Amino acid sequence: MKLASFELYGQPRLGVTLDEKIIDVNTAYAAYVAEVDPEVNPYLTANIQIPSDMVSFLELGPPSLSAVEKALEYTKKGKDRVGPSGERVFFDPHEVRIKTPIFPLRHLRIICLAFTYEGHRMQRVPPPPKPGEPGIFLKPNTAALAHGEPIILPKLCPDTVTYGAELGLIVGRKGYHIPEEEAFTYLAGYTNFNDLTARGIKHVAHAHKFFDTFAPFGPWLVTKDEIRDPQNLGMVCRVNGVVEQMGNTDLCEFTVPRIISSVSQVLHLKPGDIIATGDVGNDKYLRLGDVLETEIEGLGILRNPVMAER
């Protein structure tokens, strides 16, 4: 399923996409509970089973996922479904504010990998050697950007911002020193990620990665059962509708289980962590007025306009 974080009347909500609609699954589950067990408080039960933020939802694990599945089955029986007090359950995407899949951002940790694709390494002079393990760096959560929100070109170097489509892994449960053969059990799902870089900044290590809006991801968290083989997904970046970067995750020199295991040797992973797995390389720059689209096969399209810093 495709899980979404969105804002409704200024409050964070958890949703699922279905037939080009977004379902407020907390409200849908409350309606389901009210119908099957009138003796309990449907709102309290829904808030316990399906929290309104993605991290709390992931922390609860299989019981919450089961509750979402019940809510979906309930809503599929009729598009006129409403909450126990008549609240809306179905929304068009333009009626709500889509947020990053992990929201609120205070929960977010952005873990990025360096030089996991040979093509990316070969762009550097001289090219660095193939790493024995993925190189790790972190981006601040202030870099996070949701679908539809604008990328801001920094005043310091507005003409040197590059982009790269990456497969994002979203962690589903706590883990440390995770064996490679168990790694998939710690994975919640996948998302589009774009690693923006200000190439004109050289004086501080990784500072060129830290700017606000330099980590767009979304629009959905696609659960791992939806993706048959994460090692064979097409990756595309389009600028103003023109394909400017193309690749496939089969070019990544580390498998998804290897990446999760390797990162967990250094960091205690927790639900809601996103691991950006690297890109095939790109030396093209964004310009004011561009529209950047990031598309990993099966994960939807992440679209962001480009604006100047005020």
109, exposed or middle or buried, with CB in 10 Å at 0-12, 13-18, 19+?
middle
What residues contact residue 216 under an 8 Å CB cut-off, 6+ apart? 144, 145, 146, 147, 149, 151, 192, 193, 194, 196, 292, 294, 302, 304
Q: Are residues 214 and 278 in the same domain?
A: yes
Asked which of 80, 98, 116 is the last residue of a domain, the reply is 98
Query: Residues 8-60: pLDDT tens digits?
Result: 888 999 999 988 899 999 999 999 999 999 999 999 999 999 998 999 999 99
291 and 189 in one domain? yes
Instruction: Give per-residue pLDDT as tens, 238-254.
Output: 999 999 999 999 999 99
Q: 164 falls in which pLDDT band (50, 70, 90)?
A: very high
Peptide bond into 219 cis (omega under 30): yes
Token digits of residue 284: 């093209």
Same domain, 122 and 226: yes
Instruction: Residue 115: give its domain's CATH number.
Output: 3.90.850.10
Instruction: Kindly tell me if the per-residue pLDDT of 273 is higher than 80.
Output: yes
- 70 and 198 share a domain? no
- pLDDT tens digit string along 108-121? 999 999 888 876 66
**pLDDT value at 203 more than 80:** no
Of the candidates 221, 230, 226, the one whose C-alpha atom is nearest the C-alpha of residue 254 is 230
CATH of the domain at 37: 2.30.30.230
Same domain, 29 and 158: no
Closest by Cα among 63, 45, 50, 62 to 16: 50
Please name which of 277, 197, 275, 279 lies closest in space to residue 235, comparing C-alpha atoms: 279
pTM, two decimal places: 0.94
Q: Do 33 and 153 reside in the same domain of the chain?
A: no
Residues 62 and 205 in one domain: no
Band of pLDDT at residue 130, cut at 50, 70 and 90:
confident
Spatial distance between the Cα atoms of 9 and 32, rounded to a whole number of angstroms: 23
For the chain, what percent of residues have pLDDT higher than 90?
81
Domain boundary among 52, 75, 98: 98
Domain-ending residue, one of 69, 98, 127: 98
Q: What is the extent of the structural domain holding 59?
A: 2-98
User: Which stretches of 191-254 are DSSP H helices?
Assistant: none
